[in-house]
Structure 1
Amino acid sequence: MIAINNLTFEIGARALYDEANWHIKPGDKTGLIGANGTGKTTLLKLIVGDYAPTSGTISMAKDIKIGYLNQDLLSYESNKSILHVAMEAFERQNQLHTEIERLLKKLETDYSDDIIQKLSDKQSEFEALDGYNIEYRAHEILAGLGFSDEDQQRQLSEFSGGWRMRVMLARILLQAPDILLLDEPTNHLDLPSIKWLEGYLQAFDGAIVIVSHDRYFLDRVVNTIVESKRGKLIQYAGNYSFYLEEKALREEIQSNQYKNQQAKIKQEERLIERFRAKASKAKMVQSRIKALERMERVEDVDDYNPTVNFRFKFSKQSGRHVVRLENISKSYPGIPILEHTDAIIEKGDKIALIGANGKGKSTLLRIVANADKEFTGKSETGHNVTQTFFAQHQLEALHLDHEILQELQAFAPKHTETELRSILGCFLFTGDDAFKKIRVLSGGEKSRVALAKALTADANFLVLDEPTNHLDIQSVNILIQALRQFEGTFIVVSHDRYLLDNVANKIWYIEDRKIKEYPGTYQEFEEWQSKRMPNTTPEKADAKPVKTLPKKIESPKDEDRDRQSRKLNKELESVEQRIADIERTIKETEALMAEEATYADPKKLTEVSQRYEDLKSELQELQQRWEKLAEEIIVNG
């Protein structure tokens, strides 16, 4: 499908790739990984032709269709609805639709065979390209990525960068390319949307190359890992977990080979040194020297897994209650977020706040951090609580003219330079890296600096909003180690399930505008939800408010509820039957629209087209009714 042969790409005097090779075959689902700065995004740009190789070749079939999601798409602007923008993926279908509309208009006054034949040809091609279903397909994918029916009619320009990136992803998926190149596709997705995308990509027939720091996402989607390292592309036949195991085995073998070779080299060098001065051994010495020079050296294994060995300390312990929320209500114009809800954060809590975007996670986090005062109710901070709040906008608060070490010294003057450099070492800033100016750092490096600042604060309570954005897998592992060593209290919003699974001992989520709690790890929460609410996401599940979570869920015995449940199930069956009938009628109507007798009669064609649109509208309403009934049945047990 795509063959990369002896690829070399140089930036200045640095070779980002040096005679690298990789063949992407049909059906490959590949995770492209590597530390920040190893050229993953650059490689994708080389494949699509944005950059030209210094030497080597990238060859592919002429008719191959590539779908490329990259962060540059954030600059795309449009005042059209996001449904319209997504449907721009159907370039030929849209063109045919316009031509069919023009021919139908012309047919009102011109009944010539030529016009009728052209219309027939266009409609046949439109039908062959599944043109009558493109709006439904666009709606389906946008819904999977978190857009409501109302959202889909709003202009793209009304949405933030993260939501616009979702629209771009939808448009690329709708193009049905032969190969998808996805650069950090989960960066702007919430957990429900990530899970939806996992299912979509698992079923995708083409090849996929994904650059991602979400190891759970990679485990569920890819069957091959390619690591970009030291200018080469190293392939592993399995998902990310397999890669870790296989890499450990390879490195163990390499380490043993290196040690054995080093021992042999030292032995040879001692022998050479011993007999160098003896004329009778000169020939033997020269032979040994040449043999050493010809020896293909085994490289030592790099330690790409630094450990956090710094003790994050604070000067005073907090009281038992860190934050108490009482009767909290919060809304934006026309949008209620929280209504009369209570919650308590206690000393030692490690809370993961999860859920779909738009549920109010960031709003709740700001209330907890005292960064939002526009609410009703009471938010009370406990005795001796000192907090620090990390959010992505704080990257902008870094002093661009400061060196990294200088930035930390200004923020945490009580720490010695040795302590601060130790912390920076944990966050991958070693040696002279500490003296780099903030302005020259990448987004991921700035995130690491901001996180190092947050963890050096004299704070016993951390509030972290999406701390893994821009971090590679190695940096996420460092953050996990730091949070596990942190002896205070924290609450974190993140879509990185590996991080949540490794640091949280409580799960918070917002449902029915109430804060609800699960007292366990993220994995336990997922298992609990799947058993309790099969085929639903956490956002649809019905749990009790904070501190009243039942240990055992039992079906209610109430007779009124049983009657209501039977009534709902009966209505659901009726709606299902009606949906099936309408879907069958829609197919029959589509066939009727393609018949010559229909499009030859303008009046009949108008009537059939109107009926077709009415059927689609009714189908959409019935599908929405079915979803509401299903939710009510689940809630009623």
Structure 2
Amino acid sequence: LQQDHFKYDAYTVLDTVIMGNQRLYDIMKEKDAIYAKEDFSDEDGIRASELEAEFAEMDGWNAESDAAMLLNGLGIPTENHYSMMSELPGALKVKVLLAQALFGNPDILLLDEPTNHLDLDAIAWLEEFLINFENTVIVVSHDRYFLNKVCTQIADIDYGKIQLYAGNYDFWYESSQLLVKQMKEANKKKEEKIKELQEFISRFSANASKSKQATSRKRALEKIELDEIKPSSRKYPYIDFRPDREIGNEVLTVEHLTKTVNGVKVLDDISFILNREDKVAFVGGNELAKTTLFQILMGEMEPDAGTYKWGVTTSQAYFPKDPTSEFDNDYTIADWLMGYSPVDDITYVRGFLGRMLFAGEDGVKKVKVLSGGEKVRCLLSKMMISGANCLILDEPTNHLDMESITALNNGLIKFP
């Protein structure tokens, strides 16, 4: 699965997918070039017949329909199949690159975070595709539900080594936790035995009648080895959203919101009410609609019609889907977060960064050079330090590892 979303901007969507089988794509283009010649020679005819034979052997006549089937399964409409890749938004590009990886029935499929930027329907389609895929799949993913559905083995990279477990993610988690627990219990029993032997030796080593027994226990003591339990390389951030003010019963009222973006109506007469302690998920295939709604609610965009009203006791913190503008500056992490802190104290700010696994020296890193995961942790630090009592999050788990997602889950369950 290609990670460079701009690599194929000069190609059509369909051609990009077919490039998943590079040899087949090369044959198609060479054939087209030969048939386009005005002075078609005998050598060209021989070469064309060789290419046609190889093309047929590779089932080339079904290439476009196979590619279209993959694209449709991932939710890319037929009218986009002949568009240029440069014309597609980022989320659709990811789906095209995923279709490219799946095209051509490869022997080994390497997928690096394949569910990033996919909606629920596309993830469900991908799960079914991979379950029925007869060859080998090697996947890195932060989506434990996806791993549970698709994987038959888990390779755990921790404690400085790789260990293979049969079963899905949940089975791995239970097995690995049980293994560590058993090692600790075994060590505890060994430590108790060591203490017992040491006490006997110290009491009776000078006693002539017990010297043989003391010597025997010394040998037994030398044979006992504690299992080395290395510290896990996994680190969990501490995510805790603490509101500065208790929220009232009236939180948000939305009435008849309507919005058209680039000639397409993405919100059409939307009305709803949110009350105290409501936790709402917005789901659906149209990502632009959800992001547009959030931008309107945060005052970043005006609706074409309709109104919304936040309760007088509410304060909002927003996690945007595209935070690029937040980090397009020369601030260090500490200075950047200081700009949002209600307390003018660098020690106070570093406390929030520490919770999100930014060690002391990390605070002087420039925000514009941070990785995707580090930027997400910065944004969550900003939300925590704000003390808001209403949180709006647009795809907050993209780029986060499993430990950070677990911490975020726990933080949201506890909130407020």
Q: TM over 0.5: same fold?
A: yes
Q: TM-score range by the shorter chain?
A: 0.7 to 0.9
Find the residue that maps to 1:132 and give its secondary structure. Answer: helix
Question: 2:184 is matched with which residue: 249, 255, 269?
Answer: 255
Matched, 1:457 2:390: no
State the Cα distance separating 1:159 from its structure 2 match.
3.0
State the Cα distance separating 1:70 from its structure 2 match.
5.0
Find the residue that maps to 1:379 and give its secondary structure. Answer: strand
Question: 1:192 is matched with which residue: 121, 140, 162?
Answer: 121
Matched, 1:97 2:23: no
Q: Is the 8 A contact 1:255 1:301 kept in 2?
A: no
Find the residue that maps to 1:153 and give its secondary structure. Answer: coil
Find the residue that maps to 1:447 and give its secondary structure. Answer: helix
Output the CA distance in 1 between the equivalents of 2:15 and 2:58.
18
State the Cα distance separating 1:257 from its structure 2 match.
0.9
Q: Is the 8 A contact 1:409 1:415 kept in 2?
A: no
Partner of 2:74: 145
Q: What whole-Å deviation, never above 9, does each CA across 1:2-58 have from its counterpart, x for those lacking one?
A: xxxxxxxxxxxxxxxxxxxxxxxxxxxxxxxxxxxxxxxxxxxxxxxxxxxxxxxxx
Find the residue that maps to 1:339 and give its secondary structure. Answer: strand
Residues 261 and 447 (structure 1), Cα distance of their counterparts in 2 relative to 1, 3 Å cut? farther
Output the CA distance in 2 between the equivalents of 1:269 and 1:315.
56
Partner of 2:160: 231
State the Cα distance separating 1:464 from its structure 2 match.
0.9
Residue 167 of structure 1 aligns with an amino acid whose one-letter code is V
Question: 2:341 is matched with which residue: 377, 394, 411?
Answer: 411
Q: Percent identity, aligned pairs only?
A: 33
State the Cα distance separating 1:332 from its structure 2 match.
1.5
Find the residue that maps to 2:20 and give its secondary structure. Answer: coil
1:290-329 matches, cutoff 5 A: 295-300=224-229, 312-329=241-258
Q: Is the 8 A contact 1:330 1:336 kept in 2?
A: yes
Out of 285-294 and 151-160, give the one that drifted further: 285-294
Partner of 1:375: 304
Residue 84 of structure 1 aligns with an amino acid whose one-letter code is D
Partner of 2:314: 385
Residues 324 and 476 (structure 1), Cα distance of their counterparts in 2 relative to 1, 3 Å cut? same
Output the CA distance in 1 between the equivalents of 2:196 and 2:340.
52
Question: 1:439 is matched with which residue: 353, 365, 371?
Answer: 365
Residues 165 and 401 (structure 1), Cα distance of their counterparts in 2 relative to 1, 3 Å cut? same
Residues 417 and 97 (structure 1), Cα distance of their counterparts in 2 relative to 1, 3 Å cut? closer
Q: Is the 8 A contact 1:403 1:434 kept in 2?
A: no
Partner of 2:17: 86
Q: What whole-Å deviation, never above 9, does each CA across 1:227-254 have from its counterpart, x for those lacking one?
A: 1001111111101122223223323322
Output the CA distance in 2 between the equivalents of 1:251 and 1:408.
40
State the Cα distance separating 1:335 from its structure 2 match.
1.3
Find the residue that maps to 1:350 and give its secondary structure. Answer: coil
Residues 168 and 281 (structure 1), Cα distance of their counterparts in 2 relative to 1, 3 Å cut? farther
Residues 464 and 410 (structure 1), Cα distance of their counterparts in 2 relative to 1, 3 Å cut? closer
Residue 80 of structure 2 aligns with an amino acid whose one-letter code is D
Aligned length: 410
Output the CA distance in 2 between the equivalents of 1:309 and 1:74.
31
Residue 250 of structure 1 aligns with an amino acid whose one-letter code is L
Output the CA distance in 2 between the equivalents of 1:133 and 1:240.
36
Output the CA distance in 1 between the equivalents of 2:185 and 2:128.
41
Residues 260 and 137 (structure 1), Cα distance of their counterparts in 2 relative to 1, 3 Å cut? same
Residues 94 and 470 (structure 1), Cα distance of their counterparts in 2 relative to 1, 3 Å cut? closer
Output the CA distance in 2 between the equivalents of 1:265 and 1:245.
30
State the Cα distance separating 1:122 from its structure 2 match.
3.0
State the Cα distance separating 1:177 from its structure 2 match.
1.8
Residue 257 of structure 1 aligns with an amino acid whose one-letter code is A
Output the CA distance in 1 between the equivalents of 2:222 and 2:334.
43
Residue 343 of structure 2 aligns with an amino acid whose one-letter code is P
Output the CA distance in 1 between the equivalents of 2:306 and 2:149.
42
Q: Is the 8 A contact 1:307 1:481 kept in 2?
A: no
State the Cα distance separating 1:213 from its structure 2 match.
0.8
Q: What whole-Å deviation, never above 9, does each CA across 1:258-307 have from its counterpart, x for those lacking one?
A: 21122233344555666789999999989977876765431348586969
Residues 412 and 234 (structure 1), Cα distance of their counterparts in 2 relative to 1, 3 Å cut? farther
1:393-404 matches, cutoff 5 A: 393-394=322-323, 397=326, 400-403=331-334
Find the residue that maps to 1:481 and give its secondary structure. Answer: helix
Find the residue that maps to 1:370 and give its secondary structure. Answer: coil
Output the CA distance in 2 between the equivalents of 1:315 and 1:104.
72
RMSD (Å) for aligned C-alpha atoms: 3.8
Output the CA distance in 1 between the equivalents of 2:373 and 2:210.
58
Find the residue that maps to 1:337 and give its secondary structure. Answer: strand
State the Cα distance separating 1:326 from its structure 2 match.
1.5
Output the CA distance in 1 between the equivalents of 2:37 and 2:371.
57
Find the residue that maps to 1:353 and give its secondary structure. Answer: coil
Q: Is the 8 A contact 1:142 1:170 kept in 2?
A: yes
State the Cα distance separating 1:410 from its structure 2 match.
5.9
Partner of 2:84: 155
Output the CA distance in 2 between the equivalents of 1:176 and 1:360.
34
Find the residue that maps to 2:282 and give its secondary structure. Answer: strand
The runs of 5 or more residues in structure 2 that have no matched partner are none
Residues 395 and 348 (structure 1), Cα distance of their counterparts in 2 relative to 1, 3 Å cut? farther
Residue 305 of structure 2 aligns with an amino acid whose one-letter code is T
Find the residue that maps to 1:342 and give its secondary structure. Answer: strand
Residues 386 and 276 (structure 1), Cα distance of their counterparts in 2 relative to 1, 3 Å cut? farther
Question: 2:150 is matched with which residue: 221, 227, 230?
Answer: 221
Residues 275 and 315 (structure 1), Cα distance of their counterparts in 2 relative to 1, 3 Å cut? same
Residue 10 of structure 2 aligns with an amino acid whose one-letter code is N
Q: What whole-Å deviation, never above 9, does each CA across 1:85-110 have from its counterpart, x for those lacking one?
A: 22222333333334444555679976
Find the residue that maps to 2:259 and give its secondary structure. Answer: strand
Q: Is the 8 A contact 2:159 2:231 kept in 1?
A: no
Find the residue that maps to 1:437 and give its secondary structure. Answer: helix
Question: 1:336 is matched with which residue: 235, 260, 265?
Answer: 265
The runs of 5 or more residues in structure 1 that have no matched partner are 1-68, 488-637
Partner of 2:64: 135
